[in-house]
Every structure is written in structure tokens, then in C-alpha cells.
Amino acid sequence: MSTAHPLPPLAEHVVCATCGVEHGDRPLPDVCLLCADERQWVPRVGQVWTTVGRLAEEGSTVRIEELEPGLVGLTARPRVGIGQTATLVLTDAGNVLFDVPAFIDDATVEAVAGLGGIAAVVASHPHMYGVQSLYSRAFGDAPVLVARADAGFLPLRVPAVRLWETAHEVVPGVWLEQVGGHFPGSTVAHLTGADGRGVLLAGDAIFPGPEGWSVSFLRSYPNRIPLSGAVVRRIVEQVGRLSFDRLYGNLGGAVPERAQEVVQESARRYVAWVTGEHDDLT
């Protein structure tokens, strides 16, 4: 069991109510930088802020459930921000939190400590920063890995932040690569599951469709902005060098088997449509 550290006061730790990304207790901008970007959106009523303390008063919790042996999902309930499911990768060398919930409380810290704590925090892209500084703080200022290409979208930089760009093992057995697409620094994590087969944590660089029969690729999911065929080919070629049977997205979707084949097949279909190959069918 890992020893957890007390959380700092949460009453004034500000997060954007729309995307769930922390801004801390420093002076706030007029609008959240991430939501003002074309990949996200600002409510018609204007910018809305909340705090971790207020979310707790409103009944927020973090649901923790096993996704498969060695992988645990963490999801804030009721939904906070985008509503992502983070993944805690359990390893003998230390656990990695991939993508971050937008909420934390003492019960969550206790539960994560019981699973071995956190050795490193990694967001697949800026929309997934959540309250990463608080998860880091709770576990001895665990390093927070931020893609250098996306550092301009980081609202709250704490001493634990480490900028990175070169593919590497964050702990033995957990490999990180920046594949770009949705954001220039969009990151995937690769590991070997308990059954000996590869697993890809894709964030939403590669987004699972219903029932995991297909995947897609977009610059903006809420605004339905596509990526070019060339970019999709590049992403798929890069992840094609990794062997994986299963793929997990960050909103609860997954490809439960044959994931590498599904990614390749989906990419071929996507590229054919965006390059006009099937325009005669429209």
C-alpha cells in the first residue's frame, strides 16, 4: 500500500465547469483557454467556473472500477467537465495515472493508495489535465508529464510538471508516444496486459466507436472538425509499430479485441471518404 499525503485545501481550487481543467487559486482569465479554442466550446451564458470544494458539496465522487486485470478506471460522478474515464495502470514498478479526473477527495486518495498509489501522471492531451496537480500532490509530488508541444495550453504549472517529447518508458512496461492529431502532443500509452497481449490507451487520438467495431479520428469531437487523410495515415503508421489486441479510449469506449486490425480498417475507410474516393455515393 502506498502512503498518501494530505490534500491541500480544496474549497478554492478552481476548475473550468465546462472542460474540467484546473486553474488553481490564481487570478482567472476571462475565459478558459482550452474552451475558447476551436476544439472545445464556451457556454452561451459565458464562462462558468467551479471549485473542487463546491463539487464535493454537490455530491461529486470518483467511481473506481476494474477495466481488466492491471487496469483501473476512475470516473467522476456525476459528470464533471468532459466526463472522462482516467486509467490507473498498475505495475510492480509503480502505477501510472493516464488521463486525470476533474475531481478528487480523501476517499479517492485512500482508494488509490490501496492500489499502490501513483508514480507518474500523464494526460493524453490538454482536455485531460483534470486536477492533475492534486493527484500529484496526494502522492508525494509524483511527476506530471506534459507534452512540450501542448505546454501553451497548461493553465496551472506546478513544480512537479515535466515537459517531454521523446517516446520513452514512464515506468518499466508502460511506453509513451506522442502521435499528434487531435493536439500536436496527443499521447498514447502502450503496455502488456495480464494475458500477455498488448493494450493501447489511446486518449481520443483514436476514438472507439459503438461496441468497439470501429474507431475514428477528429481534430474536434464536439465541433466535428476532421483531420486530413495524411495525418490519419501518419498516426496509424506510428501506432502500427506497437502490438496491441485491445484499445481503451478516455470516455468509456473500448475495442475489446483485434484492436490493431480495427484501427487499420477504420483508417482505410476514413481516408477513402475524406479524400473523395466515394463522392459518387453522396
Residue 256 burial class via C-beta count within 10 angstroms: exposed 0-12, middle 13-18, buried 19 and up: middle
Q: What cell numbers appear for 139 in the block?
A: 502522492
The DSSP letter of residue 191 is E
Dist. CA 245–CA 257, nearest whole Å:
5
First to last CA, the chain: 58
Average pLDDT over residues 192-210: 97
CA distance 173 to 106: 29
> What's the topology of domain 14-275?
Metallo-beta-lactamase; Chain A (3.60.15)
Distance CA 112, CA 110 (A): 6
Task: Tell me: pLDDT of 3 over 70.
Answer: no
What are the φ and ψ backbone dihedral angles of 67, each rounded to 5 degrees? Answer: -90, -40
Residue type, 209: G
Percent of the chain residues past pLDDT 70, beyond the cut: 99
Over residues 46-103, the pLDDT tens digits come to: 999 999 999 999 999 999 999 999 999 999 999 999 999 999 999 999 999 999 999 9
Count of CB atoms situated within 10 Å of the CB of 279 = 8
What pLDDT digit, counting tens, does each position of 122-153 carry?
999 999 999 999 999 999 999 999 999 999 99
Check: CB of residue 84 under 8 Å from CB of residue 129.
no
Phi, psi of 50, rounded to the nearest 5 degrees: -140, -175
Q: Whole-prediction pTM value?
A: 0.96
| Ranges of each domain in the chain | 14-275
* CB atoms closer than 10 angstroms to residue 57: 10
Q: Which helix (H) or strand (E) holds 272?
A: helix 259-274
CB 68 within 8 A of CB 194: yes
73: left (phi over 0), alpha (psi -120 to 50) or beta: beta
